[in-house]
Copies of this chain bind each other. A is one copy, B any other.
Amino acid sequence: MSSVQTKLPVFDLDQIRASLVRDDILAAVREAFVRHARGEVVSPVPGQLLFNDPPGDCHIKYGRFHDGPTFVVKIAMGFYENAALGLPVNNGLVAVFDARTGATLAILQDAGWLTSWRTAAAGALAAVAGAPAVVTSLGIVGAGHQAENQARWVAPALGTQRVAILGRYRDKADRLVGKLRGTGLDAMAVDTVEELFGACNVVVTCTPSSTVVVPASVVRPGTHIVGLGADSPGKQELDPALFSKADVIMTDDHDQCVDHGDFSHAVRLGLAKSDTDVSLGAVLAGLQVGRRRDDDITIADLTGIAAQDIAIATLAWERLSGRIGASDPTRSTGKL
């Protein structure tokens, strides 16, 4: 072992943010889903470390594309009492390594933003994959950080300016509406889930709920729902009965969604057969359809997959290291 070391490149959030544009992330995450569906991603079971005092968690996701030049280890923390201390709730880093030598290529000190953007991209891709021909308005259930993300990424992907926000607390929803209007969106807050599903035919749910927030009764034919919140055991957003009404069920990963996605609740209750889902990646690749008829009810159940992390971290590293050229500066609307 030699003691001669090259200086480890550490990129901070400002550098990471400046290196990426939305279109490139969408393309990279789309490819990640397609390759995941093809079985071209190596992603072992994530590691987990839980903390009680104060409560917190650490998740370690890692993996690579089969022929990829890099592999990625993401260490992501959530410490929920930090907010009261004026500290960030999310911490962590993403490390990028050379898959041919094991050398450490870079540390991306992303403060959770790469995860946030890859989730936003997944929502946008899944929304488009099942959207009806004419989108009346985008609905968002949730008023937190990811709700803001989804509104800002999904609305342009669907080609709509109209966004309705349903939050648990009206004041928080109003604050988000104000922010979204500042970005040029035609945003409004609504008070009930009935109102939301009355106005919108594409709805993204992104809450930390552990009980149903979307009853099957409010969902009209022709609606597409993207469920993002149920990403670990115990979480739930969508009425299991919705899955028995759905014409297409897309999942980001079959096994994960059967284990702990919204789909899992329906499968356990016998309201959907476990083999009735199609892979989001296969839909994005054009091998399956996300919607057949205008009055279909369609659902995309997203639990988050390592391929997304691998894709966005590799993209960021390629940009930051100059391996591939900078993004086209004329695509300024895609700035993060």
Contacts and interface: CB of A to CB of B under 8 A. Distances in A.
A267 interface: no
Contact of A90 (B1, B48, B113): B1
B87 A101 contact: yes
A47 B43 CA distance: 10
A47 B72 CA distance: 13
Contact of A100 (B54, B93, B103): B54
A107 B62 contact: no
B88 A2 contact: yes
A109 B9 CA distance: 11
Nearest to A89: B1
A47 B64 contact: no
A116 B47 contact: no
Given A3-B14, A75-B73, A102-B78, A47 B49 contact: no
A98 to B, nearest CB: 8
A99 interface: yes
A64 B101 CA distance: 29
B60 A73 contact: yes
A8 B10 CA distance: 8
Given A58-B97, A95-B93, A5 B102 contact: no
Interface centre among A48, A78, A111 (most CB of B within 10 A): A111
A91 B87 contact: no
A97 B49 CA distance: 12
A121 to B, nearest CB: 17
A91 B103 contact: yes
Given A87-B101, A90-B102, 17 more contacts: A1-B90, A1-B111, A1-B145, A3-B14, A5-B12, A8-B12, A44-B47, A49-B64, A49-B71, A58-B73, A73-B75, A77-B97, A78-B102, A79-B102, A92-B104, A95-B95, A107-B107
18 contacts: A1-B89, A1-B116, A1-B145, A3-B14, A5-B12, A8-B107, A8-B109, A44-B48, A49-B62, A49-B63, A56-B99, A60-B73, A77-B102, A79-B102, A85-B101, A87-B103, A90-B102, A104-B109
Instruction: Give 3 nearest A-B pairs by CB, closest first.
Output: A77-B102, A91-B102, A79-B102
